[in-house]
Every structure is written in structure tokens, then in C-alpha cells.
Amino acid sequence: MADLRFYQGLGPITITEVAALSGAAISDSAMGAMTLSDVAPLEAAEAGKLSYAESPKALNAHAAGALDGVFLIVPPDLAGVAGAMGALILTHRAPRQAFSRIGSHLFSLRGFDGTERRHPEADCHPSARIAPGAVIAAGASIGEGVSIGPNAAIGPGCRIGRFTSIGANVSISCADIGEHCNILAGAVIGEAGFGVAVSGGSVIDVPHLGTVRLGDNVTVGANSAIDRGVFGETRIGDGCKIDNLCHIAHNVSLDAACLMPAFAGVSGSTRIGRGVMFGGRVGVSDHVVIGDGARIGANSAVMADVPAGETYAGAPAQPIRQHMREIAEIRRMVRARAKARTGE
């Protein structure tokens, strides 16, 4: 369920409407009058909610009967398998795209309303310091000793913990921010990430219905961006330090005390363990797991899991000793060729 502090429910809608909006086909006409008002990822699917699966692998973790009552969009060749698990089937050749067309008809992002910069339904502690031009939306909660800079925007339902500092021109939406955090100028927390569904030459945005949660004592550098989850949270653990101009995508999880220098980028659904240290301009692929205490050298491209405690470097990243041996071998080969050309 989308967090109703940040989203407004628009449902329910009938399965006939779902089919018309998504282009999916209903496997049983008796389903047409049934209604739904929520969506979920397949791993959290429940009866009465809409989900999707694109491949047999996505269904392998579910036993017979595990999807009883779940409305499920699948490719036509998976209809029988999903039906045997108890799902109520809609079929479409591109289930992710069909599913993505439904989210905006079930939920809308709560926006800024009214004419006052500080909405009367915002809860601001008397000790909070709010600079000129800052906007605080309905339902926001601003804790003791918080400082909010000029032209910052705190969206509906957001919570800012005690003694946190929000810099000028910061934008925060769909987010729960801990205590003693430092959010520097121009940072954007809680916007939708880069999620798209591609099929047949058409591209549509995947709705992001999740949130961002920052722990305590977190620093987010100037002009950095942390995207909200597609479902659930993008999570930044206690004591993480994120430098300027970094990007953390939807549903990423950073455990406590991670260090991320400038220009780092982490793709969606990656899991980063406790105390991981990045060098500058590291790029991390999606759905990667980086173990506790790992270190990633500057300019590295992490394309696969990194074990706990290891140091990786290079593009693609690999154990540092192997990376250095390969560099040394390349240099040896270059020197040998240079000598051969000059006859030395």
C-alpha cells in the first residue's frame, strides 16, 4: 500500500477498467466486475492487489496456492502456471508496461496547496528556524531545533527529525528524515527515479509509489539526489556521509556508516552493507550486493557482487590485486612493443 501521508488513493477501479487502461486481456470474464484499489510487487502480493510477472523465474519462488486472489498480469505463455498458483490472470505481451499504466489511476502524489508558505496543517516546533521563501506543505512535521534554508520545499507528510539542517533550495518529498542530519544546498530527496517500461518501441514511466528514509546523523551533499522507491523504501542508514553530486536510485539500501565521495552513482535495488567506503566517481549496477566493510576504488564500475571486507577496483571492478596485476601486465606489453619498434 502506498503511504497515504504522501499519496492520495483514487481507487477502486474494476478489472474491466484495468484491462481497458493497460491493454491487458482478462482470462475469465467473470473477473470484470471485481475491483481493486492497490498494487504490490510480486514478492509482497496479496489477495485483491494487482501485480505482474514477466518470466518463469519470477514465479519460481511461489508455491501452488501462494498467489490466491492476486490479480496478476503475465505473458500469455505463463497464464497456466500463474493460474495454478491461484492468481486471477490478465495477459499482456509486456506485463511491466501494462502494470505501469495502472498506478497513476490508483494513486496520485499529494501536492502543495493553499496560499501560505507554511501550511496551517504543518506541525512545526516553535524552536525551528525557517528562512524566507521556504515552503512547508500540509501534514509535514518539523522537529525541535530544525533549520530550513531559503526556498527549500518540504512536501506533504514529510518528517524532519530534531536538529536537522536543511540547506537552501533543497527539495524533500515522500521522505522521513532522521535527527541531526545535514542536507546541503540543492539536494533533492524523494523524487521519482529512472524507471521505465519499454515495449514495441514505446516507453512509459514506471510509477514510483515508495518513500525515502534517512537515519540519524546522515549528510547529503549539495546537488545530490536520492530517489524514492518504486515500492517500499530507499533507505540510508545512520551515519552515512554522501558527498556533493551523488545519485542514489530507487530502492537502494545503504547500511550504517557508509562513505560516498563526489560523483558516485548507485543503480536501483542495490544493497550496500555497513561501513562500505567508495572512492570518487564510482558507478554501481542495479541489484548488486556489496558486503560489509568493502572498499571500492575511485572510478570503478561495480557490475557484480562484492564480498564483505574486500577491496575492488577497475572497470569492471575486480579484486584490487588482480586489477593491479593486469595493469602491470599491460604496461609491460606496451613497453615491449615500444622497444620492438625502436629496435632497442
Catalytic residues: 250
| HSE-CB of 121 using CA atoms within 13 angstroms | 12
Angle at 49 between CA 94 and CA 207, to 5 degrees: 55
Burial of 112 (0-12, 13-18, 19+ CB in 10 A): middle
8 A C-beta contact, residue 18 and residue 103: no
- The strand pair at 25-26 and 88-91 is best described as antiparallel
Helix-helix angle 15-22:95-106, to 10 degrees: 120
Any idea how long the chain is?
344
- Tell me the Cα Rg of the chain: 24
In angstroms, rounded to a whole number, what is the distance separating the alpha carbons of residues 174 and 232?
11
Terminal CA-to-CA distance of the chain, rounded, Å? 72
